[in-house]
Amino acid sequence: MTDLLDGRRVLVLNGPNLGRLGSREPDVYGAMTFADLVADCEKTGAELGLAVEVRQTDDEAELVGWLHEAADSKTPVVLNPAAFTHYSYALRDACAQRTAPLIEIHISNPAAREEFRHTSVVAAVATGTIAGFGPNSYRLALRALTTLTD
């Protein structure tokens, strides 16, 4: 693990409807509940020496505020923007202000879904994107953060 993240705080931010994991379209998002996801991210983070804080909101302004907080504190971010991925220029602009790595993640593979999900306005300003690996997308992103130095 790099010195950049050793013992560092990482924000795992989730957009709209992700608080309903486990009951929301389980054929797409699986059976893991949001509480299960939080526990899994915290456990993975601890294994990697990261202090992981998981948050979820259905409010675009709140998510933008959290990204500002991360930029101001140089905190790395794992971001599942959910539906905001495809149209929120406010979210994109907040991500562009990042001062530490930001990894965009998705539980499903947006490119394999409806056409409107094929475009991410966030991807161009993220360090990278991980999609389509179910809840493992979060684990992969946390692991990837330990290798980044920007």
**Binding site feature residues for substrate:** 80, 86, 93, 107-108, 117
**Which is the catalytic residue, given 29, 87, 89, 138?**
29
Query: Which residue in 55, 73, 71, 52 sits closest to 63, CA to CA?
Result: 55
98, 77 Cβ separation under 8 angstroms:
yes
Name the amino acid, one letter, at 127: T
User: Which positions make up the binding site?
Assistant: 80, 86, 93, 107-108, 117
Is 68 assigned a catalytic role?
no
**Which is the catalytic residue, given 68, 87, 89, 106?**
106
What secondary structure letter does DSSP report for 55?
Answer: E
Is 106 assigned a catalytic role?
yes
Q: Dump strand ranges (E) for the chain.
A: 9-14, 51-56, 77-80, 102-106, 128-131
Q: Which residues are catalytic?
A: 29, 106
